[in-house]
Each structure stands twice: as C-alpha cells, then as structure tokens.
Chain A
Amino acid sequence: MNEDRRSFIKKAGIGILAGIGSAAGLFPALSLEKTVLPAWDEKPEPGKHRWGMLIDTRKCAGNCKECVAACHFTHNVPDFGNRKDEVKWIWKSSYEHVFPTASQQFQSPGVTERPYVALCNHCAEPPCTKACPTEATFRRWDGIVSMDYHRCIGCRFCMAACPYGSRSFNWRDPREGIKLASTEYPTRMQGVVEKCNFCSERLVKGLDPACVEACPEQALVFGDLNDPGSEIRKLLESTETMQRKPELGTKPSVFYII
C-alpha cells in the first residue's frame, strides 16, 4: 500500500511538472544540503582521534528534551507515538535503567530520581559490530560506531548484541512518522536498524553534534578523547565520572558526571 502511494505521488508529480512544461527557469534551485570540502584530502589516519562525550547530569534539567528534539529533527528520526515502533537515537531514562549495574549503593534520592540522557556509547570494543554479519555497522577511524544503511539486511543481531539498547529497528516506513522533515539528512527505509552517528555529518563541517549545540545548560561536552589538551580530557581528569555497564569491557566513549 505504501509503495503504491509513493509511486502514485511520484507519478502525479511528474504529471504536474510535465504540465508546466519545459520551463526549467521557473524552478528555483534545490535546497538540498550544500556540500563542503573537508579540510583533509587523503584518508584520515586511523586511531588519531577518538570522539567522546561527557554528560554532566547535575546540569541536565528534568523535563527538558531539547537535545532529543534537535537530534531527532536533524536526522529525520520518525515518531509513531507508540513503544513498539519507537525509533530513538538519544533519549532520557531513569537512573536504574541507565545504570542498572552501578556499584554505588544508597545514592541520594536526588541522584536516583533525576532523568539521564542515554545514547549510543560508541564503544572502543563494540559488541554490535562483531555481531553484524554484513559489516553494515563498523567502528570508524575516529572511534565512531557507524552504520552503512545500504548494507544493513535488518537481521537485528546488533540490537541483540548492544547492551545499552541504543539501536532501533524500522518496523515501518520511517517517512510516515516524520512530521517535520529536514532536507539536510536522508531518512532510513523500512527494514534497517538505525542509531546515533555522533553527528559525523556535522563533524565533517567542523560543527559540534546537534545535541551538544541544543543543550541550554551546556551539560554535554564533546571532544577528542585522544587529545590530552581537550576540554573533555581535562574534565575527565578533574572530575569523577561513570560509564554505563563498564564491567562488560565495551569501553564506552560516553561518560557521566553524577
């Protein structure tokens, strides 16, 4: 049914355009994403950078969902309004869901009752990439665990392998669930797994991830974990931080100040 509708809309569009005729000058230039050349020409050196994030949960306000809204708009993440079809790249959850294996007991109620931001941890030892039979998901040269949606066959092994629930499956055509579409980024299609990409498309342009930029409290700090002079490294050295399920040995690149 969806396919029919899509093809009908396409054909109707062609009909309208044909009706207008060959007046190509009438059409304005497309407002697709402008392409920019990155600063480097050649292949990047593998392992030189390792992108990471530090989330200061003390600053994160309870009901604010700016980071989620910004990310999901930027990447055309659909919202179908039900848990079964839910697709999420970044979300807020409770302490016991984000840190179910935390060794600290008897935390203060202020700590256990706050919501916590969760996203893909971009692990240094990602279990998902090892489960993927088609190498559709892989760890990039800069530490980002990336998805090649062209290769994904929708087997969902990676979802079973990820201990953080960071991956979502497109049970339905995601375009039905996008209310406000961004033309800067593609959508996905039915039958593929998707997840946070650490805004690799923005990093190429020298921008910070959308969630970091959107946070009104500046609770999210993004930077290169391999650069000893970076802000994130200094904060990691000066503050006590936590990771999600560190005992699994996945070496997450996302850290939390509790």
Chain B
Amino acid sequence: MKRRRATLTKKLIMTAAAVLILVLAGVYAFRHEESQAEKIAAPAAAAVDSSACIGSKEYMRANHMRVLNEWRHSSVRDGNRVHVAPDGRKIEKSLNTCLNCHSSNRMFCFNCHMYANVKPNCWNCHISPMEAP
C-alpha cells in the first residue's frame, strides 16, 4: 500500500515537471522579444526618381500591380492604349512607361520587392531594369 502511494506521488511529480517544462518552453518560444529583436531597416529610397507619376506615391505603392493589370487588359484586349492621368496628362499604357520614367534607378522594383519578399514573374519575359543595357 505504501509502495503504491509512493509510485503515485512519483508519477504525479513527474507529470507536473513535464507540464512545467512544456509551459516554460511555450512561454519562452512565444514571448515577445521586442526589446531584443533587431529592427529590419526600411528599404532604401530611390536616389533620384521621377516626380511626375500618374498617381501619388502612396497610391502607386499600394496599387501599382492593379494599375499594370488594368493597363494590360485594356490595351491588349480592347486596344485602348492611352491612360489619362487625374491631372489630364496622357500616357501610354506600358510597363516601359514606368521603367523609362524611373530609369535613373536600376533598383526600382527590386528594392521594395526584395524587402517585402515579393517575387512577381514580370521578369520571366519582360526585360528588367537590372538586365537593361
């Protein structure tokens, strides 16, 4: 009887220890290390870039892929190749319109895409600013 109780106590202690270790491991693994975490530097801004984009910087940052998709659809499918910017300027709907305007910065596209780990497949076919002669 005594021996049985001793085994039970031992088992209980063992289980408690296991649970404690798991809890501690969990807390350690998921605790926020804000104070120690190394901040990733924001992507370097383009050195010289065009100031005459078709939209605001914020709009283009958030929506450039939608703009390009829309441009492709309307120019390839409907033959409507002219984009009219909000200020009335007329621009050809082409990826090269963007790249020619931002031609002083070969890291245009890449700076942010690398930072955000986004891998668009544009450059499988189109000539990227880095590959351009």
Contacts from A to B (Cβ < 8 Å): 10, 13-14, 17, 22, 24-25, 27, 29-38, 40-44, 138, 140-142, 146, 148-150, 183, 186-189, 204
Q: Which of B46, B47, B72, B110 contacts A14 (CB 8 A)?
A: B110
What is the predominant secondary structure among interface residues of chain B facing chain A?
loop
Say how far A145's CB is from chain B's closest CB, in angstroms: 13
Say how far B82's CB is from chain A's closest CB, in angstroms: 5
In the complex the two chains form, is B47's CB within 8 Å of A32's CB? no
Supply 4 further A-B pairs (C-beta < 8 A) apart from A148-B76, A189-B124.
A24-B104, A31-B133, A32-B100, A148-B72
CB-CB under 8 A for A32 and B92, given A38-B81, A44-B79: no
Say how far A58's CB is from chain B's closest CB, in angstroms: 35
Bound complex: CA of A97 vs CA of B130, how far in Å? 43
Which residue of chain B has the shortest Cβ distance to A190 in the bound complex?
A: B124
Binary per-residue interface labels of chain B (120-133) against chain A in the complex, 1 for a CB within 8 Å, 0 otherwise? 01001111011011
What is the predominant secondary structure among interface residues of chain A facing chain B?
loop
In the complex the two chains form, is B72's CB within 8 Å of A150's CB? yes
In the complex the two chains form, is A142's CB within 8 Å of B79's CB? yes
Q: Which of B72, B82, B126 contacts A37 (CB 8 A)?
A: B82
**Which residues of chain A come closer than 8 Å to B90, judged between CB atoms?**
37, 41
In the complex the two chains form, is A43's CB within 8 Å of B107's CB? no
